[in-house]
Amino acid sequence: MKDMNEGWVTADGRKIGGVLMELRNITLKFGGVTAIKDISFDIRDGEIRAIIGPNGAGKSSMLNVISGFYVPTEGSVWFKGYQRGPMKPYQVAQLGIARTFQNIALFDGMSVLDNIMTGRLTLMKSGLFSQAFWWGGASREEEAHREKVEKIIDFLEIQNIRKTPVGRLPYGLKKRVELARALAAEPKILLLDEPMAGMNVEEKEDMCRFILDVNDEFGTTIVLIEHDMGVVMDLSDRVVVMDYGKKIGDGPPEEVRSNQAVIDAYLGVAHD
Ligand SMILES: Nc1ncnc2c1ncn2[C@@H]1O[C@H](COP(=O)(O)OP(=O)(O)OP(=O)(O)O)[C@@H](O)[C@H]1O
């Protein structure tokens, strides 16, 4: 039996804790377009939470609300029990929220290692200027950051490409480097926007394994948007289903899969 206040232990032995983030009655409008209509749900400590829905359902908009990039037109976002106001990107990172993007956003000319290092910028105390010139404590600090980054490189099994410019890598590996860069920020919540998009079966299997390992090893809470239903059903603890900006389902994968409104949305059944 799930205790909704204290959390629960999953079938595979992972601990899902209390509510980490709560989205209350979120509405998001772009001029005349309402991308999200009065949606509420929560994200629990340590869980893998998926957001699914047909094209244009509002998933990316919701991820942008969670990340703080969009401020909802109505409703409120609560993080660790406090209501969150408008924030600058560095403040989001400092809160412990990191993300990957639908279209890879890496520096092609830079090595894998240097790309991953950029994920630690918000954690660096001595600043980029002194880092660049190795002044005073900067070199010692840089060493500590590099150590952390090397651990992530080992964890994601990309040691052999650490010096390779990202632009030369195949797609699946670029996605893994993007994951590494997000992890370098040591996030509490990791947001993944279609982490498997464009991947072949083998790359998808690898990415699935790494997402599960990240969650298990670091206890990172993960929120992901994904179109591959097999992946969503295998990975997620709970799934929010959106359609035309509304929430039409919310629960464990097996419950959502048998929800008639969800089946209709995916089959394209006409709305009233
Ligand atoms: N910046 C924007 N300005 C205007 N309309 C927007 C903007 N972003 C999203 N929309 C609209 O909001 C609705 C939801 O879009 P959103 O991209 O969030 O859906 P989605 O579920 O992520 O779609 P997909 O699966 O195709 O990526 C769509 O009608 C879209 O056209």
Taking only the tens place, the pLDDT of each residue in 82-110 is 999 888 888 888 889 999 887 778 899 99
Nearest CA-CA partner of 3 in 20, 21, 16: 16
234: its two tokens: 């295998």
CATH code of the domain made up of 97-186: 3.40.50.300
Structure ipTM: 0.97
pLDDT digits (tens, 9 = 90+) for 136-175: 555 777 888 889 999 999 999 999 999 999 999 999 899 9
Instruction: Using most ligand atoms within 8 A of CB, pick from 59, 71, 191 the residue to mutate for ligand 1.
Output: 59
Burial class (CB in 10 A: 0-12, 13-18, 19+), 202: exposed
Note the pTM of the prediction, 2 decimals.
Answer: 0.90
Domain 1-6+18-96+188-202+223-272 has CATH 3.40.50.300: yes
Q: Looking at the chain, which residues constitute the CATH 3.40.50.300 domain(s)?
A: 1-6+18-96+188-202+223-272, 97-186
Atom of ligand 1 nearest to the CA of 102: 27
- Return the beta strands (E) in the chain as ranges: 8-9, 15-16, 19-30, 33-44, 48-52, 74-79, 82-83, 97-100, 189-193, 221-225, 238-243, 246-251
Q: How far is the CA of 107 from the centre of ligand 1 (A)?
A: 26
Q: Which residues touch 177 (CB under 8 Å, ≥6 apart)?
A: 106, 112, 115, 116, 158, 166, 169
